[in-house]
Amino acid sequence: MGIYLVRLSDFINLEKNFTLQVGDPKDFEMICKVGKALANPERLLILRSILGHPKYLSDISRELNIPISSVSRHIDALADAQLICINYQPGLKGHTKFCTQIAVSFTVQLCKEEALETSEPEYTVEMPLGMFTHCDITAPCGMTGKDDNIEYFDDPSVFFSPERRKAECLWFNTGFITYSFPTTALSRRACSEISFSFEVCSETSYYNNVWPSDITVFINGKEIVTFTSPGDFGGRRGKYTPERWAITSTQFGLLKKVTVNGQGVFVDNRLENKKITFADLGLYDAPAIEFRIGVKDDAVHRGGINLFGKDFGDYPQSIIMTLK
């Protein structure tokens, strides 16, 4: 009798990734078969035994100390669910079963495919610049809108005026301003990343392109990161800065993005801190997501801060939060 050789490479191309949908009636039978096949501990042991290592029925029985008659029933159930493939090979007493893995992954979707296609991969909220919920700042400070200035400059109490909703550029020396975002996305999906995008620069009289300022970001009261703005930018009109605004004053900023995920804290996609992750923010336990930004009293570079709205500066946006 000759020896029948079986190569593992003969079976690798059979491996598949299966996706079944509860919303599709034609998948009901296969979902039930898969569920039944995986509901037996001995079948799970058999699957683990042949992962990447095709084996004869007798080898599986000997390795797992399971009667060969039981192994035969188990592999028939696994094959019926298309988790493994059975190939009959010549043996000493007729043919013997040779088993190999064909399912690499099995996904059961609990909604219709069209619902998955229309679901949003991320949740985004753009908060108007003037819709901050709290501030604690020092002068020099002020706010201006697209069409006019907002009340008086260098008076922090003006930041509590209802006219602040019209702000398209605001500035202050030290202190912080806070924006509160809804937690809607957190109640509807499992999120693992949050980011905030905003246009910002330093603040001084008129403008100074070389005027560093250390700007700190907090999320839900937790200090996240400090980055340095290189200057208070001017010398040419911002792309969206109104013509009425003096060319001798601040004109535009830099677009910054602060992201927190499972790997840490990123500024403009560069990892800055591995010690703080998304899980540390406690967002699921909070009534709102609070984004706080400003300049600390003990900052090395206390160079103030300018924030820009969609109708001021170089970028047509306000404060944007994104959850993924």
Please write the tens of the pLDDT for every residue from 205-216.
Answer: 999 999 999 999
Q: Show the tokens assigned to 300.
A: 């090395």
Distance CA 224, CA 222 (A): 6
pLDDT in tens, 21-44: 787 787 888 889 888 988 999 999
Note the CATH number of domain 9-113: 1.10.10.10
pLDDT at 116 over 50: no
- Residue with tokens 């079963």, as numbered in its chain: 97
Largest CA distance in the chain: 101
Task: Please give the single-letter amino acid code of residue 9.
Answer: S
Alpha-carbon distances of 278 from 181, 220, 261, rounded to whole Å:
16, 12, 5
Q: Residue 204: what are its φ and ψ, rounded to 5°?
A: -150, 180
Whether cis (ω within 30° of 0) applies to the bond prior to 242 is no
Per-residue pLDDT band at 113 (split at 50, 70, 90): low
| pLDDT of amino acid 7 | 39
* pLDDT > 70? residue 16: no
Domain ranges of the chain: 9-113, 120-323
Closest among 164, 128, 132, 125 to 294, alpha carbons compared: 132
CA distance 284 to 300: 34
Q: Is the pLDDT of residue 8 over 70?
A: no
Q: Across the beta sheet with 222-229, what order do the strands follow?
A: 134-137, 175-181, 289-295, 213-219, 222-229
pLDDT tens-digit series, residues 241-286: 999 999 999 999 999 999 999 999 999 999 999 999 999 999 998 9
From first CA to last CA, the distance across the chain in angstroms is 62
Whether 321 and 128 have beta carbons less than 8 Å apart is answered as no
Overall fold of domain 120-323: Jelly Rolls (2.60.120)
Query: Does the fold of domain 120-323 match that of domain 9-113?
Result: no
Q: How many residues does the structure list for the chain?
A: 324
Span 124-170, pLDDT tens digits: 999 999 999 999 999 999 999 999 999 999 999 999 999 999 999 99
What is the SS3 assignment for 101? strand
What's the pLDDT score for residue 180? 98
Position 112, amino acid: K
Alpha-carbon dihedral 273, 305, 228, 216, rounded to 10 degrees: -20
User: How remote is the C-alpha of 133 from its chain's centroid?
Assistant: 25
Model pLDDT, residue 243: 97
Count each helix (H run) and each strand (E run) in the chain, helices first: 6, 19
Share of the chain above pLDDT 90, in %: 66
